[in-house]
Amino acid sequence: MNQKNEPSTPPAANPFFEAWTTPFGAPPFSRIKAEHFMPAYERAFAEHEAEIDAIAGQAAPPTFENTILALENAGRALQRVDDLFGQIVGTDSNDTLLAIERDISPRTAAHWNKVRMNAALFARIDALHQRRDSLGLTAEQQRVLERHHTKYRREGAALEPDKKKRLAAIIERLAALGTGFSQNVLADEQSYTMELHGEADLAGLPDFVREAAAAAAEERGMKGKHIITLQRSSVEPFLQFSSRRDLREKAFRAWVARGDNNDKTDNKANVAETIALRIERASLLGYPSFAHYRLDDAMAKTPETVRGLLEKVWKPARAAALADRDALQGLIAEEGGNFKLAAWDWRYYAEKLRVRRCDFDEAEVKPFFPLDRVIEAAFYGAEKLFGLTFHPVDVPVWHPDVRAFEVRGADGGHVGIFYGDYFARPSKHGGAWMGTLRDQEKLDGNVRPLVLNVMNFNKGEPTLLSFEDARTLFHEMGHALHGLLSNVTYPTVSCTSVLTDWVELPSQLYEHWFEQPEVLRKFARHHKTGEPISEALIAKLMAAKNFDRGCQTLEYISSALVDLELHLLQSAENLDVGAFERQTLSRIGMPEEIAMRHRPPHFTHVFSGGYYASAYYSYMWSEVLDADAFAAFEETGDIFNPDVARSLYQNVLSTGGSRDPAELYVAFRGRMPNADALLKKRGFLDASAAA
């Protein structure tokens, strides 16, 4: 942790034990050292425990104010240290921080077990819940009460003491397993590099891939060399362009084997134990499987509904992927190859097929997407839709590469702070995500949010993005807007504190604006000449938008179905995770030439914590919504239509979890959508009808 513009502090001073006087109350990162976290956690646990005891033990009958409002105000010190530690260990970890994470994860779980299983506290919440319609509560207060009741019930508050004790042990063990899983994946990603020796190993790679490989080597103290890492932004372009089939296979096998190398970082036993404990957890709470437990608190509600959606899209996507497979095998034959298409060949020959079918060359397009221009485009969309402007601001940050902006509303008023952490580095977990260092709320004054986006682009001079990279940036900005535009009173329903299969709607919806010719004409400019992207190249982009979508859809749905099927198990005795994966893929007819997007041993969405467990389908559920939601703009003939944007703000982005999401969507669109909007977006509608 690094930073600037802050006075030096005596080593004994712990910044968590004082008010932060930095601009906007931002965390003073340069003053926060690893040794500050454990004392901060210890004090925060104790403070929160005292607050909970006071709420649960009071003699006065329960009211919304003395119970629910008191819970909303409790644990602020714990929230502050936990939010900051979670983001730091994810973006700029080291051995000391990872050791703290291993220690604090089960202790945090134990603390929340004690809170959520407090019988006296739940009795107060339950009494209020039973009288909820006679309490004179606002709609938001009703929702806050309901969410507290649901959370406590689902965490075992109503169980008998012996079952509570066992459930607490399960939750603590799951927390330790999740941390170990995540750290194992990170260790595999950090330890692997494939060095490219000379022009023979660089064959086929365009300049931007070579430059990224050189930058990755220099960052690891190997200046003058080229390496491929297991970051998606490194390995996928290599698989797409390298003409060295042997090296593609080597890189691919290392990539898909993260967490599955039968060594100290192998995650298969971790997955099996996690599944077993989740089965037991669900059973204690009265559910037939963990999937039933998890989905009971989601829009989808049942595993049958989830499977129905995934299978409806699977059939036309598989037909499209098989047709593409045959075309790729034809390209191999044309070149005189006498081998069968393999998973490490797909991206390479798909790129050739894309050039042939769409006259589209990634190397031709990428110079028009320098990172700074794509960021500017994302900010432009936020301004056109919601009146937000982004102004560079000098606040402390956790790494020199991080950028910070003050976000202001149409009236010039302060909305929040936005941090962008865009570049891959060895100390950072892979992938892309949005997080918060502080959520919006109105209980403790008009608290404005501190929102961050994290990505893993290959750093360059300048950094050039692929079309998919740019779409990822817009996706995370959609999440950020959900956090920045939150306008609720209570922390429990603030920002992205919503049901899992609703949370991806704002992010996936915002991706649409990057794909619009109106936006591309304005912001896609050549990084050297400043020349705007040509109409011909925009036409190629639009034509290629759904190219290879069959393969991409199968990569995703296969991961979602394996996730669902694992969590529908009612026994994990002798579970062989690899065999289960193979059997499930065989049953659904997964082409062997296509790999899952996330195999179980490195599926951090599902096994580094429980948020997406049996809920990875959420991206597709939200895509049904986002495809239909963007049509609301298209139907007006104006992709920035102010009336539709205002409704989107009022009914989706500002509301957090303060209302039922189905109610919110109907308020925005007038009805619920069906899967046809998604099939049309992905180019499968005709195939579906034919099927």
DSSP 568-595: H-S--TT--HHHHHHHHHHHHT--TTS-
Q: What is the pLDDT of residues 375-432, one digit of tens each?
A: 999 999 999 999 999 999 999 999 999 999 999 999 999 999 999 999 999 999 989 9
Sheet harboring 450-457: ordered strands across? 389-392, 403-408, 414-423, 450-457, 433-438
Q: Domain with 409 in it: what CATH number?
A: 3.40.390.10
Per the domain annotation, does 288 fall within a domain? Answer: no
Cβ partners under 8 Å of residue 400, min gap 6: 2
Per the domain annotation, does 26 fall within a domain? Answer: yes
Q: What is the pLDDT of residues 68-98, one digit of tens each?
A: 999 999 999 999 999 999 999 999 999 999 9
Rounded to an integer, what distance in angstroms lies between the CA atom of residue 595 and that of residue 229?
A: 18
Per the domain annotation, does 572 fall within a domain? Answer: no
The answer on 229 and 153 residing in a single domain is no
Q: What is the pLDDT of residues 265-308, one digit of tens each?
A: 999 999 999 999 999 999 999 999 999 999 999 999 999 999 99
Query: Rounded to the nearest 5°, which phi and psi values hold at 680?
Result: -65, -45
Per the domain annotation, does 623 fall within a domain? Answer: no
Q: Domain with 25 in it: what CATH number?
A: 1.20.1050.40
Element (H, E) at 356: helix 343-358
> Which range marks the domain in which residue 436 is found?
366-497
The answer on 106 and 222 residing in a single domain is no
Closest Cα partner for 233 from 379, 428, 376? 428
Cβ partners under 8 Å of residue 679, min gap 6: 313, 316, 685, 688
Cβ partners under 8 Å of residue 523, min gap 6: 373, 374, 376, 377, 380
The answer on 247 and 153 residing in a single domain is no
Per the domain annotation, does 676 fall within a domain? Answer: no
The answer on 478 and 383 residing in a single domain is yes
What's the mean pLDDT in 336-365? 94
Q: What is the pLDDT of residues 188-228, one digit of tens each?
A: 999 999 999 999 999 999 999 999 999 999 999 999 999 99
* pLDDT for res 688: 41
Q: How confident is the model at residue 1 (pLDDT cuts 50, 70, 90)?
A: low
The answer on 104 and 53 residing in a single domain is yes
Q: Domain boundary residue among 201, 225, 256?
A: 256
Q: How confident is the model at residue 690 (pLDDT cuts 50, 70, 90)?
A: very low
The answer on 145 and 232 residing in a single domain is no
577 pLDDT above the threshold of 90:
yes
The answer on 196 and 141 residing in a single domain is no
Q: Give percent of the chain above pLDDT 70.
A: 97
Q: Domain boundary residue among 233, 256, 279?
A: 256
The answer on 198 and 110 residing in a single domain is no
CA 654 to chain centre: 20
Q: Which of 476, 504, 593, 623 is an active site residue? A: 476
Closest Cα partner for 110 from 175, 56, 32? 175
Q: How confident is the model at residue 10 (pLDDT cuts 50, 70, 90)?
A: very low
The answer on 219 and 85 residing in a single domain is no
Mean pLDDT for all residues in the chain: 95
The answer on 445 and 375 residing in a single domain is yes
Q: Domain boundary residue among 497, 529, 561?
A: 497
334 pLDDT above the threshold of 50:
yes
* Residue 531: active-site member: no
* pLDDT for res 689: 43
Rounded to an integer, what distance in angstroms lies between the CA atom of residue 67 and that of residue 62?
A: 6
Number of domains in the chain: 3
The answer on 211 and 92 residing in a single domain is no
Higher pLDDT, 43 or 609: 43
**How crowded is the C-beta side of 108, counted as CA atoms within 13 Å?**
23
What's the mean pLDDT in 35-46? 98
Per the domain annotation, does 124 fall within a domain? Answer: yes
Per the domain annotation, does 519 fall within a domain? Answer: no
Rounded to an integer, what distance in angstroms lies between the CA atom of residue 265 and that of residue 118?
A: 37
The answer on 251 and 375 residing in a single domain is no
Q: Is the dihedral of CA 582, 584, 588, 590 positive or negative?
A: negative
Per the domain annotation, does 235 fall within a domain? Answer: yes
Closest Cα partner for 315 from 675, 605, 571? 675
Q: Is the dihedral of CA 21, 26, 29, 33 positive or negative?
A: positive
Enter the DSSP assignment of 229: -
* pLDDT for res 686: 59
- Contact between 282 and 293 under an 8 Å Cβ cutoff? The reply is yes
Q: How confident is the model at residue 485 (pLDDT cuts 50, 70, 90)?
A: very high
Rounded to an integer, what distance in angstroms lies between the CA atom of residue 3 and that of residue 457?
A: 22
What's the mean pLDDT in 458-480? 94
Rounded to an integer, what distance in angstroms lies between the CA atom of residue 478 and that of residue 625?
A: 14
